[in-house]
């Protein structure tokens, strides 16, 4: 029996075990939506903006480790997905984005709501397709899911003209893929692994740089064994948080621009860096010319193009983290590194970056710490971008694996709410806290309607400081405290939540924090807390842009820092 393109799409999605689709309809996807009632296995979540659909699919993907699916109509629907697709691409999240396209006869005629979305998304997708023949649709979907979910994951877009959705053909889901140009190297080269092991065995001051690759590969046990066997101190990129217990004696916390003093000192003084599933992003390395000057570098990554891209590498090992670490654990010997670890402990006490300063004000660090205490670390933390993100990254102790979702590479404000929605749908048993900034929250605030319509029980903590906080911090430190256009007039978020039938509470004082968090946790559905935090609180340490990792600034270092670095923080 023949099926329409729309039916073939739905059948193919079911073959790929898709359960949830985030999207909004429009003219050029109407045939697809019209067939949804025939496929009750596919749950469609109606979002309020296509950016929300893409971020929700991304949050779902990161929470479940399988491709998130989003759908939008042609033209503006498709272009609204772009931010979310770019975000998934930068952070290697598997996603399949489906867009409607105008009918084939009018492609290229500047038809109503026509946009060249495959052209637009070439640099922000792992691959994309314009399906011009219904006979190719099933195979395209199969390829798209394979590409999105294997190797270094990423987004794949499928653009389907409206008339292809209506055209009929036999539905045959292919068994085999024909992708001669797509190679995934999953096992590391044994000779490279031996060389890496030799370096690790002889290193005296090693440091591990743990990245998101460990989370993607779900190599938590292998990583822990690796680190404990050779007694390797661990630092994380931001997206590498929650791959190793944050309360472990070998854990130094996050490295980089807002990394802990201890982590940054250790990296800069290391004689060997073992980079595991990370890409030497500039926010992690700071100035690469002065980065870890005495260290040899082992770089383990599944993407060969990451080797040597930003930092020269001595021993590359290309492969899947889980497989490479399993092999590496056989080759490395037990080590203790007593002297090096005691030096690190000295830095830890010299730069107690995790301490929260004494204050009667409501500090965002304190709020995050209380969310940690209330959940005992057993919660999925989804953040926005900016100060709220850094406070969450630094002051929530990730004691359990795979509990942190944040937009690292692209840094799109407004990620938090839709991504938290997607994450909660992907892991319904988990407590999901959405840590939002008051600026970013208003970029996707309309998804509160989706949350209510679909009954998605996310707990929302708005870190309301009345500023675009991170930008304000830069203006304070590097632009002579000239707060140009960072002050926000905000609506009453509790009333906004109420209008969306979401209970909420405003918190202005420290003693109200714990009861409010408890109330949110007791509430069976979504809940919003509007935390009126100290407006001009900064996230420290900070490595000023262009500086090297050891030149981090934190208030306790003021005099010494300026003397040592020769730079006055206000001079930037």
Binding site for other proteins (CB under 8 A): 118-119, 122-123, 126-127, 130, 147, 179-183, 303-305, 307-309
Considering beta carbons, is residue 280 or 404 the nearer one to other proteins? 280
| Cα–Cα distance, 416 to 52 (Å, whole number) | 10
CB of 241 to other proteins, least distance (A): 27
CB of 182 to other proteins, least distance (A): 5
Six token digits for residue 570: 């206000």
Considering beta carbons, is residue 52 or 277 the nearer one to other proteins? 277
CB of 158 to other proteins, least distance (A): 13
Task: DSSP for 282-349, please give it.
Answer: HHHHSSGGGSSTT-EEEEEES-GGGTTTSS--SEEEES-HHHHHHHHHHHPPP---HHHHHHHHHHHH
Mention every residue, 6+ apart, whose C-beta is less than 8 A from residue 168. Answer: 2, 3, 4, 5, 134
CB of 215 to other proteins, least distance (A): 21
Task: DSSP for 469-512, please give it.
Answer: HHHHHHHHHHSTT---S-B-----HHHHHHHTT--EEEE-SGGG
Six token digits for residue 346: 């000295």
Considering beta carbons, is residue 147 or 443 the nearer one to other proteins? 147
CB of 385 to other proteins, least distance (A): 23
Six token digits for residue 536: 């001009």
Six token digits for residue 476: 């304070």
Q: Distances from the Cα of 12 to the Cαs of 129, 288, 523, in angstroms?
A: 16, 45, 38
Other CB atoms within 10 Å distance of the CB of residue 77: 25
CB of 166 to other proteins, least distance (A): 22
DSSP 3-state helix, strand, coil percentages of the chain (rounded to 5)?
Answer: 45, 15, 40
The SS3 of residue 115 is coil
Considering beta carbons, is residue 180 or 524 the nearer one to other proteins? 180
DSSP 253: E
CB of 123 to other proteins, least distance (A): 5
| Cα–Cα distance, 383 to 405 (Å, whole number) | 7
Question: Phi and psi of 95, rounded to 5°?
Answer: -155, 140
Q: Distances from the Cα of 192 to the Cαs of 25, 76, 325, 328, in angstroms?
A: 50, 48, 12, 10
How far separated are the first and last CA of the chain, in Å rounded?
Answer: 69
Return the residue matching tokens 């599933």. 277
| Cα–Cα distance, 508 to 531 (Å, whole number) | 6
Six token digits for residue 137: 């649709």
Considering beta carbons, is residue 176 or 183 the nearer one to other proteins? 183
Other CB atoms within 10 Å distance of the CB of residue 34: 15
CB of 185 to other proteins, least distance (A): 11
Considering beta carbons, is residue 121 or 269 the nearer one to other proteins? 121
CB of 356 to other proteins, least distance (A): 42
Considering beta carbons, is residue 109 or 183 the nearer one to other proteins? 183
CB of 181 to other proteins, least distance (A): 4
Mention every residue, 6+ apart, whose C-beta is less than 8 A from residue 571. Answer: none
CB of 99 to other proteins, least distance (A): 16
Considering beta carbons, is residue 147 or 516 the nearer one to other proteins? 147
Six token digits for residue 499: 């209008």
Q: Torsion angle, CA of 172/174/175/176, rounded to 10 degrees?
A: 160
Considering beta carbons, is residue 58 or 306 the nearer one to other proteins? 306
Mention every residue, 6+ apart, whose C-beta is less than 8 A from residue 241. Answer: 254, 393, 398, 404
Q: Pairing between strand 2-4 and 168-170?
A: antiparallel
Considering beta carbons, is residue 37 or 180 the nearer one to other proteins? 180
CB of 16 to other proteins, least distance (A): 18
Considering beta carbons, is residue 115 or 370 the nearer one to other proteins? 115
Considering beta carbons, is residue 213 or 422 the nearer one to other proteins? 213
CB of 130 to other proteins, least distance (A): 8
CB of 188 to other proteins, least distance (A): 17
CA angle 491, 493, 497 (to 5 degrees): 130
Considering beta carbons, is residue 101 or 118 the nearer one to other proteins? 118
Considering beta carbons, is residue 140 or 165 the nearer one to other proteins? 140
């Amino acid at each position: 029996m023949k099926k329409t393109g729309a039916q073939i799409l739905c059948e193919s999605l079911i073959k790929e075990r898709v359960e949830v689709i985030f999207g909004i309809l429009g003219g050029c996807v109407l045939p697809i939506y019209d067939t949804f009632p025939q496929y009750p296995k596919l749950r469609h979540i109606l979002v309020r903006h296509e950016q929300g659909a893409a971020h929700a699919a991304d949050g779902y993907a990161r929470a479940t480790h399988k491709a998130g699916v989003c759908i939008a109509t042609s033209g503006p629907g498709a272009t609204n997905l772009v931010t979310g697709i770019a975000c998934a691409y930068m952070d290697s999240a598997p996603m399949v984005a489906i867009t409607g396209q105008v009918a084939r006869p009018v492609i290229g005629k500047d038809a109503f709501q026509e946009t060249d979305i495959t052209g637009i998304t070439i640099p922000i997708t792992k691959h994309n397709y314009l399906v011009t023949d219904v006979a190719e649709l099933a195979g395209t979907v199969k390829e798209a899911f394979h590409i999105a979910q294997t190797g270094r994951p990423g987004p794949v877009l499928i653009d389907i003209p409206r008339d292809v959705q209506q055209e009929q053909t036999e539905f045959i889901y292919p068994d085999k893929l024909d992708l001669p140009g797509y190679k995934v190297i999953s096992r590391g080269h044994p000779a490279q692994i031996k060389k890496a092991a030799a370096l690790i065995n002889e290193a005296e001051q090693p440091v591990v740089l743990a990245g998101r690759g460990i989370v993607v590969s779900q190599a938590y046990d292998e990583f822990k064994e690796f680190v404990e066997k050779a007694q390797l101190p661990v630092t994380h990129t931001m997206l590498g948080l929650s791959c190793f217990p944050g309360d472990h004696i070998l854990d130094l916390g996050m490295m980089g621009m807002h990394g802990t003093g201890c982590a940054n000192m250790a990296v800069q003084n290391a004689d060997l860096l073992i980079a595991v599933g990370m890409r030497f992003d500039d926010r992690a390395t700071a100035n690469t010319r002065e980065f870890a000057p005495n260290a040899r570098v082992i770089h383990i990554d599944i993407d060969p193009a990451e080797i040597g891209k930003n930092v020269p590498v001595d021993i590359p090992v290309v492969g899947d983290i889980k497989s490479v670490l399993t092999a590496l654990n056989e080759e490395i010997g037990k080590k203790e590194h007593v002297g090096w670890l005691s030096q690190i402990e000295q830095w830890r006490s010299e730069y107690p970056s995790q301490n929260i300063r004494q204050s009667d004000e409501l500090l965002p660090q304190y709020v995050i710490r209380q969310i940690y205490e209330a959940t005992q670390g057993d919660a999925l933390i989804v953040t926005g971008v900016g100060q709220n993100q850094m406070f969450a990254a630094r002051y929530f102790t990730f004691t359990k694996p795979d509990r942190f979702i944040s937009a690292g590479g692209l840094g799109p404000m407004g990620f938090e709410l839709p991504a938290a929605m997607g994450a909660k749908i992907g892991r319904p048993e988990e407590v999901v806290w959405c840590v939002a900034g008051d600026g970013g929250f208003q970029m996707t605030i309309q998804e509160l309607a989706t949350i209510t319509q679909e009954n998605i029980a996310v707990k929302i903590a708005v870190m309301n400081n009345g500023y675009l906080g991170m930008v304000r911090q830069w203006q304070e430190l590097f632009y002579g405290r000239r707060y140009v256009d960072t002050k926000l007039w905000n609506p009453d978020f509790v009333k906004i939540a109420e209008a969306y039938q979401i209970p909420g509470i405003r918190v202005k004082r420290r003693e109200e924090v714990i009861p409010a968090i408890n109330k949110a946790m007791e509430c069976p559905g979504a809940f919003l807390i509007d935390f009126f935090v100290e407006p001009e609180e900064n996230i420290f340490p900070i490595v000023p842009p262009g500086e090297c990792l050891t030149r981090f600034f934190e208030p306790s270092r003021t005099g010494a820092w300026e003397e040592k670095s020769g730079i006055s923080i206000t001079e930037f």
